[in-house]
Structure 1
Amino acid sequence: MSDLSRHLPLSNRPRHDESDVSSSWNAELADVLGSLATALAPLPDAAWATTSRRPDWSVHDVIAHLVWRLSTPRGERWRASARSLAEQGFSAAAAELVIARRVAGSPDATPPALVQRLVAMRDVAAARAAGAAPGLALDGTRGDTFQNGIGALAEAVIGATDVAASLGLPLTVPERASGAVALRRALEAPTEIKAVIRGHSLAATDADWSFGNGPVLEATAAELLLFLYGRSDTAPHPRPTTR
């Protein structure tokens, strides 16, 4: 087991009653999707063609894939991914890009339509966070197929962080969401990224979370996420020592 997983909770806040905590990430998803939709809505279509932080992906590709990932039933998504993986010589990166471009190129995936879908998914997530029935449907987004686990949250958080960095948008991700996603990614990151963070703690300089054990590597929450997900080559830096 990675040393990172033995050092929870994510922050050094005093412990409190967490009996109401659940594995649902609907509230965080609603916040992230709402912020992303608000940031994207006023942008011209040309901005969507901007290259994202993910090699060969445009902003349009990132958002189209995010909408597909969160709104497609799990079985259908797995089948599509398996087919694409086989067609692309079992290159996971190529398979994901093919799916993203296919979705982005469909007639119902124009920038305004995708923003509308983000808003609809935000509304579903918010309603479910408030206890609404899973079958709630808004603008074609069915609550019973809407993905709301940590994997879906990770897709939303890194997608929003990537787009914000690519377009220079002032988009804030909730601390609980960014910390949970960073920890999850640190536990399953590729070897080259684990080689950098192994034996260290990671700390966000602009959020109340940290995890790990050992000398502290720090950066902003967005910078840590971009590095952990391979969207940036800039590694977190050692915390300055105080004299």
Structure 2
Amino acid sequence: MRVFDMIVDERHRAADLLEGLTAEQLRRPSLCAGWRVHDVAAHLTTYLRFGQLKIYAAIVTTGADFDRFNLRLTRRAARLPIEEIVARLRRHATSRTTIPRSGYDPVLTDVLLHDLDMRVPLNIARDTPEERLRVAFRHLTDQPSPGYAMGDRLRGLRLEATDTGWTYGSGPVVRGRAETLLLGIGGRPWAFDHLDGEGLILLRSRVLNRTRPEVLGRLMAPLRVLASPPPSARRSREAGAPELP
């Protein structure tokens, strides 16, 4: 399946999930610090009608502070009732907005992580197709887009997904199920009680003690993306999940 088709399907799945939640479930804290399940749902709609020119403008006006920009957009979208959020997810499920020159991989990664951000605290499990998790794993460990602010989080660590056999890097090991591993390297503290390995203490420390880079450092990340060759394969309408060892 093409990565773009995976994104469309994930947006519809999120809408299906949200449509069946109670008001109490929507108020439940998600795995995103400070965000309720309702806020995460709202965040999923924030870029659906965005053009790339608006993203460039946001990079300039916020000094590439994606955290601040996402917070601003999400607060605005979260004022909407859940019925309108669900309707927007369905109506704009085929949106092709991407981070400039980054392709569809980061979009799918974002939707998958936020799906888990909502499902885990609600204890609503699902069987996420392995090929979709593979896209997210490759993206976060290979060349994550600037919005993920990974920095050197994974430097000198080896990641091992116990249920898929995927590995990355060398050094002290952090291991666990692929979904949990993605949440850990994606910066969700919940995951650290569900992973193990001698590298876990270091990963936990890097995530919990992350410092916000200065403006110049934030600006350099998108500039490096803009200066690099476009990921033609990842933008291709025919691009599917990457192969992993």
Q: Which runs of 5+ in 2 are unaligned?
A: 199-245
Counterpart selection for 2:182 from 212, 225, 229: 225
Per the TM alignment, residue 208 of structure 1 is displaced from its structure 2 partner at its CA by: 5.7
The aligned runs of 1:178-217 (5 Å cut-off) are: 178-187=133-142, 188=144, 190-191=150-151, 193-195=153-155, 198-200=156-158, 202-207=159-164, 209-213=166-170, 216-217=173-174
In 2, Cα distance between the equivalents of 1:210 and 1:121?
Answer: 35
Specify whether residues 82 and 48 from structure 1 end up closer, same or farther in structure 2 by C-alpha distance, changes over 3 A only.
farther
| Larger of the two Rg values belongs to structure | 1
- Is 1:177 matched with 2:128? no
What SS does the aligned partner of 1:173 have?
Answer: coil
In 2, Cα distance between the equivalents of 1:73 and 1:42?
Answer: 31
Q: TM-score, normalised by structure 1?
A: 0.65
Map Cα deviations across residues 26-47 of structure 1 (whole Å, 9 max, x no partner): 2211332232222221112332
Name the residue aligned to 2:91.
120
- Is 1:98 matched with 2:72? yes
Aligned pair count?
A: 187
In 1, Cα distance between the equivalents of 2:4 and 2:117?
Answer: 21
In 2, Cα distance between the equivalents of 1:163 and 1:28?
Answer: 19
- Cα RMSD of the aligned pairs, angstroms, is 2.9
Per the TM alignment, residue 215 of structure 1 is displaced from its structure 2 partner at its CA by: 6.4
Name the residue aligned to 2:23.
45
Specify whether residues 192 and 146 from structure 1 end up closer, same or farther in structure 2 by C-alpha distance, changes over 3 A only.
closer
In 2, Cα distance between the equivalents of 1:39 and 1:219?
Answer: 25
Map Cα deviations across residues 101-147 of structure 1 (whole Å, 9 max, x no partner): 01222xxx32112122223344x3xxxxxxxxxxxxxxxxxx5x544
Name the residue aligned to 1:28.
6
Specify whether residues 81 and 215 from structure 1 end up closer, same or farther in structure 2 by C-alpha distance, changes over 3 A only.
closer
Kindly provide the amino acid, as one letter, of the partner of residue 81 in structure 2.
T
In 2, Cα distance between the equivalents of 1:65 and 1:115?
Answer: 12
What SS does the aligned partner of 1:182 have?
Answer: helix
Per the TM alignment, residue 193 of structure 1 is displaced from its structure 2 partner at its CA by: 2.8
Per the TM alignment, residue 224 of structure 1 is displaced from its structure 2 partner at its CA by: 1.0
The aligned runs of 1:49-198 (5 Å cut-off) are: 49-80=27-58, 82-83=60-61, 85=62, 91-105=65-79, 109-122=80-93, 124=94, 143=95, 145-147=96-98, 149-187=104-142, 188=144, 190-191=150-151, 193-195=153-155, 198=156
Structure 1 stretches of 4+ moved >6 Å? none
Q: Is the CA contact 1:81–1:96 (under 8 Å) kept in the aligned structure 2? A: no
Name the residue aligned to 2:196.
237
Per the TM alignment, residue 207 of structure 1 is displaced from its structure 2 partner at its CA by: 3.7
Map Cα deviations across residues 184-215 of structure 1 (whole Å, 9 max, x no partner): 223446346325xx241x23233464444566
In 2, Cα distance between the equivalents of 1:233 and 1:112?
Answer: 29
Q: TM-score, normalised by structure 2?
A: 0.64
Map Cα deviations across residues 149-170 of structure 1 (whole Å, 9 max, x no partner): 1121121111111111132222
